[in-house]
Amino acid sequence: MDTEPIIRLRDVHKTFDTTSVLRGVDLDVHAGQTTVVIGPSGCGKSVLLKHMAGLIRPDSGTVQFAGRPISAMKGRELAVLRRRMGFLFQGAALFDSLTVGANVCFPLIEHEVGTAEERRRRCQHVLALVGLDGFQDRWPEDLSGGEKKRVALARAIAIGPDVIFYDEPTTGLDPIRADLINELILRLKAALDATAVVVTHDLHSARRVGDRVLMLYNGHFIADTSAEKLDRVDNEVVARFVQGRASPDELARIETGPLGRMSPAGQESG
């Protein structure tokens, strides 16, 4: 692709206590694509996603959003840029003390978007997109796990983001409800013309929604391919993970080096 990436990471490192989670990650995410990051639990996928959204700062390296250095921003400047992002947290993260409608409207109020009536209409619209119009007066405790995810997704898109971040969107759901979330991810990409970044260990979901699939392992990427070619990646760790032939502990004992810099269209360079 000739266009500039909407998200760019260069040589990003992050360590918690003595555990090195990201070890020099490079990545370009281009507008209009759904980029999926897979890997075993605890490999740093969610940490990577939160770097892209400016929720975590790298120890070193840079993170850019729309050409701006988000890793160096603070305060209001960062808050303004976050209006262009929607984030679906792993556990939905709804406010138990607020109704469904109030949860969905929360980012609109936080960013002072529209009048009360405009916010009400926007809430109705995004709930309709996820199939939950009419749920405005319900409470989170009365919702199923799948319904909570859908409300959280409505909240994530309420402000009209350019990029939607999905953190393990199908975790904890049965196959039918998980596939409903996958279908929503695809539908929202078409309806909103938004870029999506998904982190998941759900390979069915990765294949279903991903235009581009990367595998994070040992702090760096070891695969960068299309969903259709994931089964043909020539890497032992990737093959074992995709085929479910090894536990996380067994995978951790396999040595593999990083790919080169992540370039557009899911190909290596450098």
CATH of the domain at 46: 3.40.50.300
Whether the predicted pLDDT of 248 surpasses 90: no
Cα distance between residue 50 and residue 2, in whole Å: 26
pTM for this model (two decimals): 0.85
124 lies in some domain:
no
Asked if 198 and 37 count as a contact pair (C-beta separation under 8 A), the reply is yes
Amino acid in the structure at residue 53: A
Domain that holds residue 268: 1-79+164-172+198-270
> Is residue 229 situated within a structural domain?
yes
For 140-176, the pLDDT digits (tens) are: 999 988 899 899 999 999 988 999 999 999 888 888 8
Residue 252 is assigned to a structural domain of this protein:
yes
Cβ proximity of 136 and 127 under 8 Å = yes
Specify the amino acid at residue 235: N
* 92-150 pLDDT, tens digit each: 889 999 999 999 999 888 888 888 999 999 999 999 988 899 999 999 999 988 899 89
Residue 263: predicted pLDDT: 38
153 belongs to a structural domain: no
Q: How many domains in the chain?
A: 1
221 domain residue, yes or no: yes
Is residue 231 situated within a structural domain? yes
Contact (CB, 8 A) for 146 and 182: no
Residue 222 lies in a domain: yes
Token pair 């770097």 is at which residue? 51
pLDDT band at 251 (very low <50, low <70, confident <90, very high): low
60-65 vs 34-38, strand pairing mode: unpaired
Q: State the pLDDT at residue 246.
A: 59
pLDDT at 26: 94
Q: Is residue 158 part of a domain?
A: no
